[in-house]
Amino acid sequence: QVQVVESGGGLVQAGGSLRLSCAASGSIFRINAMGWYRQVPGKQRDLVAVITSGGSTDYADAVKGRFTISRDNAKNTWYLQMNSLKPEDTAVYYCSAGVWTTRSIYGDYWGQGTQVTVSS
């Protein structure tokens, strides 16, 4: 069993910052890519940022230069630092990770989602 729990989020004014955290626990052998997604009502869930096991990162064009993804492999934890937030960043944010379990089973595991609201 693998559990993924995210924290952070909340209400912030435009131009402000927030930091999201995500922690995986359980029968983990290795975590490959870790990512952050966001979803607004009525739309699909979109990739925001991803970081590979080697530390390579990629970002959606809409957040490049404002958001930073990072990871702490020793703690099975990853983060999304969000700066210069805009009202259009308002969404439910989900973290995700590709996990190899100790039983050699691979799966994608998701956090429960956290609301980020940016007021204008």
Question: Which tens digits make up the pLDDT trace of 60-107?
Answer: 999 999 999 999 999 999 999 999 999 999 999 999 999 999 999 999
Q: Percentage of residues in the chain with pLDDT exceeding 90?
A: 99
Distance of alpha carbon 75 from alpha carbon 31, whole angstroms:
11
Can you give the pLDDT at residue 83?
A: 98
What is the pLDDT of the chain when averaged over all its residues? Answer: 97
Tokens, residue 16: 């402000």
Distance of alpha carbon 77 from alpha carbon 29, whole angstroms:
14
CA distances from 17 to 14, 33, 44, 89, 119 (A): 9, 24, 24, 11, 12
Q: Parallel, antiparallel, or unpaired: how do β-strands 28-39 and 67-72 relate?
A: unpaired
> If you average pLDDT over residues 3-13, what whole number do you get?
96
Burial category of 49 from C-beta neighbours within 10 Å (exposed 0-12, middle 13-18, buried 19 and up) = buried
Can you give the pLDDT at residue 75?
A: 95
CA dihedral sign, ordered 58, 61, 62, 67: positive
